[in-house]
Structure 1
Amino acid sequence: MLPSYHAVLLVVTLGAGILGLILCFTAFAGMDIDYRLLMLTAFVLLCNIWCGIIFLSGIKQYRAILLLFVVGYGSAVIFALFLFPRFGLNGLIGSFVLGHILLILGMHALIYRNFRSEKYISWQVFDRRFNYPRLGVVGLCYYLGEWLHKIQFWYYPFTGQPVIGPLHASFIYDYPIFLSYLAVLPGMAFFLLRIETDFVEYYNAFYDAVRSGGTYEHLQNMRNMMVRGVRTGLYEVLKIQGIVVLLVFAFGQDLLHLVGISVYYLPLLRIDTISASLQVLFLVAINVFLYIDRQRVVMILSVLFVVLTGLFTWVTLKIGPETYGYGFALSSFVVVLMAIFYLEQYFSELEYETYMLHQDELVYSHN
């Protein structure tokens, strides 16, 4: 694994570096050289950190990742307190860079502590046998859907304002959407716990029983427990986020006062919290589909998500401020309903798909 990680890291670093350099001398040509170098460094570091997160997540190092992020971003805040008064904007970006340097150093220390290899780099990871283009489409469309509505608000004439160079922001939309994503932390934490315990445990038990020739009664029990784990996980996340939404509706005005934001943002905060909560449910469904290797379903849902988000957000921007935020909420609601429908369909046909559509794989694994 380690040689493959080095190969991916090298390709990502070169790609990010080349793209960053092009942007430095085109889109950000009017900025001072210090700012451009710091932005380039930050961009390359972020790309490397994503590779490290994916690698560490694959070996279930969740607590270590959390601790590293606390140290990295905590350090960035401390650096900013000292550097911002003296260097201004460049001091803030420099603090961001220093925090990420600490973060990636910690990640690599953890990686090299858990992995050893005599070979430094291997290009086998790019072999066509290990290519999964559907997952590439899933990653692109899911994250594009997450950001597309924000980008539309940033660059729409009546909602966006230029910040630095080609970068824009939407002071109407950015504040409530940021607070709404903080509100989904309880649901996200529970989701990770539920998926990594109940569902995965019974999922592995079901297919172990299939491969080892378990009794039909045992298979049915494992199948029922797996389905119950998914349904319970979705229900619990829905319940937790429902409570959060109710709290935002009840105390949202006080929260806005607390952080120094106008109460005129309250309607957006409410609908954005609903949207973000739906996104947690969508993420739960996507992860379950990926565990059971339903890449095509996830790809369809992800493509639909980005298309609907772009379309519905554009419509709400045209209608006016009273509908802002509803486009993202509606697109999230549609894909969550479809994901639940697909899940129910899959579990109702689980035994048929397992025995009739994968006979060769089962015989091979049993032998």
Structure 2
Amino acid sequence: MAGISFELKKTLKGKKLTNLLLAFTYSTSLSAGPWIISILSIIFAGFAAEQAGVPHEIVRKYQIVVTYITAFSLIISGPFQLLFTRYIADRLFEKKENKLLPNFTGVLFVNLLLSFIFGICFTWFTSLKNIFYEMPWFVILFILSLILMTGLWMINTLLTSFKNYKYILFAFIAGFGSMIITAPYTGKYELTGLMFSFFIGLLIVFSLLTGYIFYQYSSDKIVEFEFLNRKKVFISLSFTGLFYNIGIWADKFIFWLSPLTGEKVIDPFKASIVYDIPIFLAYLAISPGMGIFFLKLESEFAEYYERYYSAVRGGETLDRIYELGVELVNAVRALVQEVLRIQAIAVIIIYLMEFIIFKFLHYSPLYLPLFNILLLGTYLQLVVMTIIAIHFYFDLKSYALYTTFSFALLNIIFTILSIYAGPFYYGYGFLGSLLISFLVGIFLLRRFLGEIHYRTFMLI
């Protein structure tokens, strides 16, 4: 847990309010920065294109297509993200750094190939095939962007494992910043032009991050597929990553595809005028909680975790191990409580200012009831994410799997039921699935912490 945690601890040593605010800002920008930059860049690129004369309807189509690319790429790469992260961690523990680069090339190749196959199949088996004859470059750029973004998640996985948050942040700023700059000029070619600016932005981020990896790590081999060896990996992590990403996107796809809530924007891409705006704003609201989660995880919890297990490995006295165990359990409790507390404050502030926010953004106040429900849902999603992270710290792979599976399954079932129940119940499927997933995750974590010494010594 070296690297970024040292900088956070150094910042916090001042024990002043300004030091705390600096550390919080730093952790928020590193943890939530890349996806906030991505979202805001797409918005600002669309705004800049509109100012240059691109019709609003074209910009809306562009933003919806990009949303589908993001969803597809996350689901395709989901089975490999956690699997590859654990593979990297195990090879580092074995001091086999020479395995990193060739297996990174291997996992990148597999993901690029899968996204290419998916893009071709999606084009062929949907009405996108008909659009190809009218706008061939748009379809080609859609497939190429899908391939790049799928690979980008795997690159991000490797760099995040090495705590290279600063460089990731720089790469995203450079890539998506160029997208904002080029959008007004490429927008004259309407949807195809905007997709080209998005593709260029992705290509810059992809090239910067890939180049950094090849610069930092070396190997005698170019490509290996050892990360697919059943003896070297944990298959449950593939399902955990898949279920988590399905859970995140299940309610969105259901609202898009339902004839009651979805509308055709450009075949085969649909959107939901009812659901999209509230859920988008609700997700932006969790950045304060992500900053606190990252700060507490890297600067405090990791330290107590290392103390306890170093004492176990180092042969400390049983009394000392018990003492450190109590501190570790308290650190877990403090981490969850801090995320709950800080994000609750953010939710209350947003709730009190929501009329002003919606008026400023020119959104209808009719969205507010659904927004409030989804705001609570994303609040719980952040807490669930925190619990899952703690599960992984303690190598509780099956617990993380149960938590994410319940999230995915219940989000699908509850969201479908909420649509048929009527507009008053929209959003409750997402909220209910996360509430139950939270209870499942916290119950399993609590059970583990109650017998942490037994688990440590007797179930190795």
TM-score range (shorter-chain normalised) is over 0.9
- Structure 1: give runs of 5+ residues left out of the alignment: 359-367
Structure 2 residue aligned with 1:23: 122
**Could you list the per-position Cα deviations for residues 292-349 of structure 1 after superposition, in whole angstroms to 9, with x for gaps in the alignment?**
1111111111111111111111121111111111111111111112211211111110
Q: Tell me what 2:290 maps to.
A: 188
| Corresponding residue of 1:362 | none
**Paired residue for 2:74?**
none
Matching residue's letter, 1:48: G
RMSD of aligned alpha carbons = 1.2
Q: Residue 44 of structure 1 is aligned with which of 147, 165, 173?
A: 147
With structure 1 as the length reference, what TM-score do the two structures score?
Answer: 0.94
1:77 to 157, 180, 186: 180
Task: Give 1:191 deviation, angstroms.
Answer: 0.9
Aligned to 2:430: 328
1:9 counterpart = 2:113: no
Q: Which runs of 5+ in 2 are unaligned?
A: 1-99
Q: How does 1:259-274 map to 2 (within 5 A)?
A: 259-274=361-376
Amino acid at match of 1:154: W
User: SS at the partner of 1:88?
Assistant: helix
TM-score by length of structure 2 reads: 0.76
Q: Give the CA deviation at 1:131.
A: 2.9
Give yes or no for the alignment of 1:354 onto 2:456. Answer: yes
SS for the counterpart of 2:265 is strand
| 8 Å contact from structure 1 (residues 248, 270) kept in 2 | no
What's the CA shift for 1:213? 0.8
In the other structure, the counterpart of 1:54 is: 157
- Could you tell me how far apart the structure 2 residues matched to 1:65 and 1:217 are? 43
What's the counterpart of residue 394 of structure 2? 292
Please tell me whether the aligned partners of residues 198 and 226 of structure 1 are also in contact (alpha carbons under 8 angstroms). no
Distance 1:112 1:191 in 2: 31
> Map of 1:156-195 to 2, 5 A cutoff?
156-195=258-297
The whole-number CA distance in structure 1 between the counterparts of 2:266 and 2:138 is 11
1:33 corresponds to which letter in structure 2? Answer: P
The Cα shift of 1:199 comes to: 1.6
The answer as to whether partners of 1:160 and 1:168 remain within 8 angstroms in 2 is: yes
- Which segment is superposed worse, 167-176 or 10-19? 10-19
SS in structure 2 at match of 1:158? coil
Conserved? CA contact 1:252–1:269, under 8 Å: no
Residue 23 of structure 2 corresponds to which residue in structure 1? none
SS in 2 for 1:297: helix
Instruction: Find 1:338's aligned residue among 434, 440, 448.
Output: 440
* Offset at residue 163 of structure 1 (A): 1.4
What pairs up with 1:184-333 in 2 under 5 angstroms?
A: 184-333=286-435
Instruction: Give the conservation status (yes or no) of the 8 Å contact 1:76–1:98.
Output: yes
- Residue 73 of structure 2 is matched in structure 1 by none
Matched residue type, 2:204 = L
Q: Deviation of residue 20 (structure 1)?
A: 1.4
Listed one character per residue, the Cα deviations across residues 78-133 of structure 1 (whole Å, up to 9, x for unaligned) are: 2112211x111111111110000010111012212321222211222222212321
Distance 1:186 1:36 in 2: 37
Equivalent in the alignment of 1:66? 169
Q: Give the structure, 1 or 2, with the largest relative contact order (CA under 8 Å, sep 6 or more).
A: 2
Amino-acid identity (%): 32
Find the aligned partners of 2:175 and 2:113 in 1 and give their Cα distance: 24
Give the 4+ runs in structure 1 shifted more than 3 A: none
Q: Secondary structure at the match of 2:270?
A: strand
For residue 163 of structure 1, give the secondary structure of its aligned residue in structure 2: strand
CA distance in 2, matches of 1:17, 1:152: 24
Q: Are 2:195 and 1:99 equivalent residues in the alignment?
A: no
Deviation at 1:67, TM superposition (A): 1.9
Q: Which whole-Å CA distance do the structure 1 matches of 2:363 and 2:145 have between them? A: 29
Local SS of the residue matching 1:30: helix
Which sits farther off after the overlay, 205-214 or 282-291? 205-214
1:141-152 equivalences in 2 (<5 Å): 141-152=243-254
Of 227-236 and 144-153, more deviation after overlay is shown by 227-236
Give the 3-state SS of the residue equivalent to 1:129 in structure 2: coil
Structure 1 residue 356 displacement after superposition? 1.3
